[in-house]
Amino acid sequence: MQTSTLLAFLAGSLLINTSLQAQSRTVKTTSTRTVTKTSTVPPARLPEFSIPRAEVESHIRFIASDELEGRRTGEKGNWTAARYIAEQFRLLGLKPAGDQGDYFQRINFEKVKAAMSATLLLGKDTLHAGKELVIMAGGPTDLSGEVIYVGYGLTDGEDGYKGRDVKGRIVVAQGGSPEAKGPGEIFGASRNKRKIAMDKGAAALIELYSESIPWGFVNQYFSREQITLPTESNTGKPITHLWINNANNQYKQLKEAGQTVTLRTSGRPQSTVVSANVAGIIEGTDPKLKNEYIVLSAHFDHVGVGKQGGSPYQASDSIFNGARDNAIGTVAILEAAKALSLQRPSRSVLVLALTGEEVGLLGSKYYSEHPLVPLKQTIFDLNTDGAGYSDTTIISVIGLERTGAKAEIEAGAKAFGLGVFGDPAPEQGLFDRSDNVNFAAKGVPAPDFAPGFKSFDQEIGKYYHQATDNPESLNFNYVLRFCQAYAHTARLIANRPTRPQWSSGDKYEPAAKALYTQE
């Protein structure tokens, strides 16, 4: 699961929170259908009822081991985890669903490191990277000259580029846009500005930042490495692009003609880093329903080692093992893959281990744009990802009331003595903080099946994105039952005669209508 600060930048959900909260309280569920068993095997003899605890434990102890160094996207430990998962799929006889006849869906990510140094000389002032300015993009630069102000830098109008020749010049623009409110919009406007400035031949772009995200967050975030999916705006060498903290309008002179600045920076080193989602298929047994898929997804990446982790750590343990986040979920899909391949359900199942979650839900974003089975035949995604657990009598399901499979989820949990808690910590906007949201955005009903918690309490905080999230600290009796409940729930949904539907009026319902009615 992603941290809220990262989320704030990438998804804008600090602002979505309140509407989500309201929504989850007002939308009435329509999912009270009874569970229909199409299997003739008595439930207790289904393979998920005899998963050995030692098997769950050994998978977790490997995936969350120190040797895998926090499984950071694109790094060796991340690939080792992907390889381990792929070989488990092979052992279980899953059909490879990857892009080269194997289990891997390879993704080329862009990795941009923080600028080592940058200064902007402006009259008597010197602004420094990590203090008054952040470098957003660009290579090494040493530039001097008069600036030219272009308003928001988004139009060719009077208040934009009209009548201004910016070729080879240092362009200054106001931060954000007249419409931009959330972080996503502010960053989107910023990328547009850079593209426009580049198209017009500018040498550099300075934005005067005074938007809603506090400068401290901005500064902290861009002082670290970022990993992104390649887009048009970050292919090719970008110009030097910086934000300066203009919260108190202290640099308003940059809007005036004739101002001269000197800009020096080491730039942000940029490279390509490859990682992969891991995907395998279990074919359904029903001649008709096997053309429909349910996705069982879990991210296997985590945040890495030391400073990469983004949280304080002790010298004695600098590895962010991510046992809870998300080795548990990864093993839940492995055990579900095993149970469902031993006793296949009516519908087909795509087992999907996702990379790039912690760096912005990128593996699932990429998958949703490059699906390995058609999305319109994908009727449900049962994602599993969690922040940890503080109640071993329950599982927690984010989106329980919205995604139309409440009955199966409750039955799946009950079979292993667990209750279900719907929508924990609504203030956290969790629905939009894990990979399920990228399926939801395409219209696929997609809850997140998480270990038991009701709020972000002390027990959650003790391990969530901390180096202490080690396998040794897990209650494996609970983890086993969690995995079993997940596998059984997956089976019940895959065997349902009808597809789960979004609750009426849900914000993702229109996307579902568009997806499932297309030719």
Residues near Zn ion, by CB under 5 A: 1, 325
User: Which helix (H) or strand (E) covers residue 106, if one does?
Assistant: strand 104-112
Long-range contacts of the stretch 215-221 (C-beta < 8 A, 24+): 215/245, 215/247, 217/5, 217/8, 217/9, 218/134, 218/243, 219/130, 219/131, 219/134, 219/245, 220/5, 221/5, 221/6, 221/9
Q: Where are the beta strands (DSSP E) in 431-487?
A: 448-451
Tokens at 1, concatenated: 């699961």
Output the smallest distance, CB 70 to Zn ion, in A.
11
User: In the complex with Zn ion, which residue's Cβ is closer, 346 or 434?
Assistant: 434
SS3 at position 65: coil
User: In the complex with Zn ion, which residue's Cβ is closer, 175 or 304?
Assistant: 304
Output the smallest distance, CB 329 to Zn ion, in A.
10
Output the smallest distance, CB 334 to Zn ion, in A.
19
User: In the complex with Zn ion, which residue's Cβ is closer, 1 or 440?
Assistant: 1
Query: Could you tell me if 9 and 183 are in contact, meaning their C-beta atoms sit under 8 angstroms apart?
Result: yes
Output the smallest distance, CB 450 to Zn ion, in A.
11
User: In the complex with Zn ion, which residue's Cβ is closer, 29 or 228?
Assistant: 228
Radius of gyration of the chain (CA): 24
CA distances to 66, 307, 467, 468 from 316, in Å: 12, 14, 10, 11
User: In the complex with Zn ion, which residue's Cβ is closer, 46 or 395?
Assistant: 395
Output the smallest distance, CB 307 to Zn ion, in A.
16
Q: Angle at the Cα of 475 (from 474 to 477), degrees rounded to 5? A: 140
Evaluate the omega torsion of the peptide bond into residue 249 and state whether it is cis, within 30 degrees of 0: no
Q: Is 128 exposed, middle or buried (0-12, 13-18, 19+ CB in 10 A)?
A: exposed
Output the smallest distance, CB 410 to Zn ion, in A.
26
Output the smallest distance, CB 465 to Zn ion, in A.
6
Output the smallest distance, CB 358 to Zn ion, in A.
5
User: In the complex with Zn ion, which residue's Cβ is closer, 207 or 325?
Assistant: 325
- Looking only at the bridges linking them, the beta strands covering 448-451 and 394-398 are antiparallel
Phi, psi dihedral angles at 338 (to 5 degrees)? -65, -50
Q: Which residues 6+ apart lie within 8 Å of 55 measured at CB?
A: 335
Torsion sign, CA atoms 501, 504, 506, 508: positive
Q: Which residues 6+ apart lie within 8 Å of 71 measured at CB?
A: 63, 77, 78, 81, 300, 301, 302, 304, 322
Cα–Cα distance, 37 to 491 (Å, whole number) = 10
Cα–Cα distance, 129 to 141 (Å, whole number) = 14
Tokens at 504, concatenated: 């009426």
Output the smallest distance, CB 193 to Zn ion, in A.
31
**Residue located via tokens 């934005």:** 207
Output the smallest distance, CB 185 to Zn ion, in A.
24
User: In the complex with Zn ion, which residue's Cβ is closer, 325 or 448?
Assistant: 325
Query: Could you tell me if 282 and 336 are in contact, meaning their C-beta atoms sit under 8 angstroms apart?
Result: no
Output the smallest distance, CB 2 to Zn ion, in A.
6
User: In the complex with Zn ion, which residue's Cβ is closer, 17 or 495?
Assistant: 17
User: In the complex with Zn ion, which residue's Cβ is closer, 51 or 387?
Assistant: 387
Task: Give the CA count within 13 Å in the CB-facing half-sphere of 481.
Answer: 19
User: In the complex with Zn ion, which residue's Cβ is closer, 1 or 206?
Assistant: 1
User: In the complex with Zn ion, which residue's Cβ is closer, 1 or 16?
Assistant: 1
* The CA-based dihedral angle spanning residues 375, 378, 382, 386, taken in that order and rounded to the nearest 10 degrees: -10
Output the smallest distance, CB 453 to Zn ion, in A.
14
Output the smallest distance, CB 171 to Zn ion, in A.
37
User: In the complex with Zn ion, which residue's Cβ is closer, 421 or 463?
Assistant: 463
How many other C-beta atoms can be found within 10 angstroms of the C-beta atom of residue 168?
11
3-state secondary structure 113-178: CCCCCEEEEECCEEEEECCCEEEEECCCEEEEEEEEECCCCCCCCCCCCCCCCCCCCEEEEECCCC
User: In the complex with Zn ion, which residue's Cβ is closer, 103 or 463?
Assistant: 463
